[in-house]
Amino acid sequence: MNSVSVRALLVRGMLAGLVAGALALAVAYFLGESRVDAAIALEESHAHDHGGGEELVSRTMQATGGLATGVLVFGVAIGGIAALVFCYVLGRIGSFGPRATAALVAGAALLTVYVVPFLKYPANPPAVGNPDTIGQRTGMFFLMVALSVLLAVAAVIFGKRLAPRLGNWNATTAAGAGYVLLIGLAYAFLPSFNEVGTDFPASLLWEFRLSTLAVQATLWTAFGLVFGYLTERLLVPAARTASSAGDRTAPRPADAVS
């Protein structure tokens, strides 16, 4: 793939990430912010009881400008990174077209970057968690992300090397089983944090975590669909044009005989 195609795909990936970020922003605002407000109300009630401090950034700014900036910038960033991954894996993971490859990249990213770390270290709303351990909890979450991504890459490489001997299906199954096993070991040996107070409503905690999962699912699903559409419009006509040019330059049977 030449540099022009990579640049064009990078731009389309960032554009798709922006569109996906806008849709994820809508989900985060309409589905998640009410849960955040409820959690903050609980936090403020305890702060008044114990003499809490004044907030540095207003809640209105957090729920509007801050949320929009964070989600949209994140969408553009992950769109660019996913586009580069797409450039590398296209044609290397089977005979998948641009749309199917984009869907596979988006699905793998959702699974490895968010779902697997989320199952070990789920998101917590305000008023949940010990402030003294926030640095350790954040570090463990990003360590889990790194482990998940690296093990997924290793599983793909392992599966491709096993494919000539075991066949694609058996090799994929073996690689997937190895990934699940190693992730399970990481779950078992990495520290866990159970800092949810007994007075925090379990239903609110569950709804908040589901809303964060919905935001990520919307982001990656929308990215896969939009980016797949854009890449197919870019790459499929170019491939057809190159094929037509090759057919015109190839000698016809009559010319070859003469």
Within-domain flag for 109: yes
Within-domain flag for 41: yes
The fraction of the chain above a pLDDT of 90, given in percent, is 43
Within-domain flag for 258: no
Structure tokens at 95: 């005979």
> Is the predicted pLDDT of residue 52 greater than 60, yes or no?
no
For residue range 134-148, list pLDDT tens digits in order. Answer: 888 889 999 999 999
User: What is the domain count for the chain?
Assistant: 2
Please check whether residues 54 and 109 belong to one and the same domain: yes
Within-domain flag for 255: no
For residue range 186-202, list pLDDT tens digits in order. Answer: 999 999 887 776 777 78
Please check whether residues 70 and 174 belong to one and the same domain: no
At residue 249, the pLDDT reads 52
Please check whether residues 81 and 166 belong to one and the same domain: no
Better-scored residue on pLDDT, 166 or 254: 166
Burial tier of 86 (Cβ tally within 10 Å: 0-12, 13-18, 19+): buried
Please check whether residues 142 and 53 belong to one and the same domain: no
Q: Which of 153, 175, 195 is the last residue of a domain?
A: 195
Please check whether residues 102 and 174 belong to one and the same domain: no
Average pLDDT, the chain: 82
Name the 3-class secondary structure at 195.
Answer: coil
At residue 4, the pLDDT reads 57
Name the 3-class secondary structure at 121.
Answer: coil
What radius of gyration do the chain's Cα atoms show?
A: 24
pTM, full prediction: 0.80
Quick one: the chain helix, strand, coil %, rounded to 5?
85, 0, 15
Please check whether residues 70 and 17 belong to one and the same domain: yes
Give which of 137, 121, 138 is closest to 183, Cα–Cα.
Answer: 121
Within-domain flag for 253: no
Please check whether residues 243 and 213 belong to one and the same domain: yes
Please check whether residues 172 and 216 belong to one and the same domain: no
Better-scored residue on pLDDT, 180 or 194: 180
Please check whether residues 157 and 89 belong to one and the same domain: no
Within-domain flag for 67: yes
Within-domain flag for 177: yes
Q: How far apart are CA 211 and CA 160, in angstroms?
A: 36
72 within 8 A of 25, measured Cβ to Cβ: yes
Outline where 51-97 has alpha helix (H): 59-61, 67-89
Please check whether residues 10 and 52 belong to one and the same domain: yes
Q: How far apart are CA 33 and CA 188, in angstroms?
A: 33
For residue range 216-254, list pLDDT tens digits in order. Answer: 999 999 999 999 999 988 887 655 554 555 555 545 544
Q: Give the mean model confidence (pLDDT) for residues 8-30.
A: 92
Tally of residues, the chain: 258
Please check whether residues 98 and 178 belong to one and the same domain: no
Please check whether residues 37 and 80 belong to one and the same domain: yes
Range of the domain at 96: 1-115+122-128+199-248
Distances (CA, A) of 179 to 169, 186, 241: 15, 11, 41
